[in-house]
């Protein structure tokens, strides 16, 4: 097992370049990065074919550590850059990596439109319910009543459910996992990349430093246990009564639809344009 991990590290990380990384001890981001690398390895994709694009925040630093074509864009805009890359070179596997504030606050508009448009992109969103890098301000997924550096008296807004938002916006594939359920996360990311069309994988994660510390769950293990105890598999949730699910969230695949892919459709546009121009 250790040998397997070492092999993956040597194959995929820019280990001689930018380490040590910027994340705090116990951060869930490393688990998501591990899941992403394992998924890519299992899919057998060439490193040259992969573009990993991120936004801004702790999650935004992830691309610098891996040996793909990597892009660290502006805050909230990863999907817009990814859209240009995918349209210019559809053969590339384009994966974006965002945080909860990145994807659903400043980048919220791009997120819902990317879901509607249906390019073959994979959006991995690490949801730790807080702005970590900037010092613990409340994000669109900070729960009502929680504390943050900009919600010192308790948060009075209501949280987005990112995966459900993606389903409503029309994403072809939507899944949610957690950094506690690491094997499931591997599978969901793999399925997301494999799926043609716009895929969203929300990874619930822990930020004990900026979120936990202000909300009486100060260590990563307690936060992991919280994720374990509040996650319900989608199949199981279907059989449960709504009030039993009140403080829970579902994990697994939430949507898997067949929709026309943008680049395929655009090729038809080109064919129509050319045949009309000839007439």
Least spacing, CB of residue 144 vs another protein, in Å: 28
Six-digit token string for 14: 């820019």
Work out whether 80 is an interface residue with another protein (CB under 8 A): yes
Among 41, 67, 219, 256, binds another protein (CB under 8 A): 67
Least spacing, CB of residue 151 vs another protein, in Å: 26
- Spatial separation of the C-alpha atoms in residues 125 and 165, rounded to whole Å: 12
Listed ranges 37-45, 81-89, 191-199, 242-250: which one lies at the site for another protein (CB under 8 A): 81-89
Work out whether 91 is an interface residue with another protein (CB under 8 A): yes
Among 32, 33, 35, 51, binds another protein (CB under 8 A): 51
Work out whether 222 is an interface residue with another protein (CB under 8 A): no
Among 151, 145, 138, 155, residue whose Cα is nearest residue 100: 138
Cα 114 to chain centroid, rounded: 14
- Spatial separation of the C-alpha atoms in residues 71 and 61, rounded to whole Å: 10
Least spacing, CB of residue 230 vs another protein, in Å: 33
Q: How many residues bind another protein (CB under 8 A)?
A: 41
Six-digit token string for 126: 């690490």
DSSP state of 104: I
Least spacing, CB of residue 44 vs another protein, in Å: 17
DSSP element (H, E) containing 51 = strand 50-54
- Spatial separation of the C-alpha atoms in residues 278 and 265, rounded to whole Å: 20
3-state helix, strand, coil in the chain (%, to 5): 45, 20, 35
Least spacing, CB of residue 167 vs another protein, in Å: 19
Tell me which residues touch another protein (CB under 8 A): 17-18, 47-49, 51, 53, 63-64, 67-74, 77, 79-89, 91-92, 109-110, 113, 266, 269-270, 272-274, 277
């Amino acid at each position: 097992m250790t040998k397997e991990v070492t092999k993956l590290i040597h194959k995929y990380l820019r280990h001689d370049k930018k380490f040590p990384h910027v994340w705090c001890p116990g951060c869930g981001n490393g688990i998501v990065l591990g899941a992403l690398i394992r998924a890519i390895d299992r899919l057998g994709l060439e490193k040259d074919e992969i573009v990993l694009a991120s936004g801004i925040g702790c999650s935004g630093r992830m691309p610098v550590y891996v040996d793909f074509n990597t892009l660290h864009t502006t805050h909230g805009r990863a999907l817009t850059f990814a859209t240009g890359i995918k349209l210019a070179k559809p053969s590339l596997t384009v994966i974006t990596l965002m945080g909860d504030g990145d994807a659903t606050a400043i980048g919220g508009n791009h997120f819902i439109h990317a879901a509607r448009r249906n390019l073959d992109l994979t959006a991995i969103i690490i949801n730790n319910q807080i702005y970590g890098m900037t010092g613990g301000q409340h994000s669109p997924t900070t729960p009502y009543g929680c504390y943050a550096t900009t919600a010192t008296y308790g948060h009075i807004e209501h949280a987005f459910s990112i995966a459900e938002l993606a389903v409503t916006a029309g994403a072809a594939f939507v899944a949610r996992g957690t950094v506690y359920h690491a094997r499931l996360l591997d599978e969901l990311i793999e399925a997301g990349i494999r799926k043609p069309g716009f895929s969203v994988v929300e990874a619930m994660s822990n930020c004990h430093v900026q979120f936990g510390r202000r909300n009486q769950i100060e260590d990563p293990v307690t936060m992991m246990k919280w994720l374990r105890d509040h996650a319900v598999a989608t199949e199981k949730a279907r059989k449960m009564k709504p009030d039993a699910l009140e403080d829970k969230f579902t994990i697994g695949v939430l949507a898997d639809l067949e929709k026309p892919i943008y680049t395929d459709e655009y090729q038809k546009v080109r064919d129509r344009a050319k045949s009309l121009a000839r007439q």
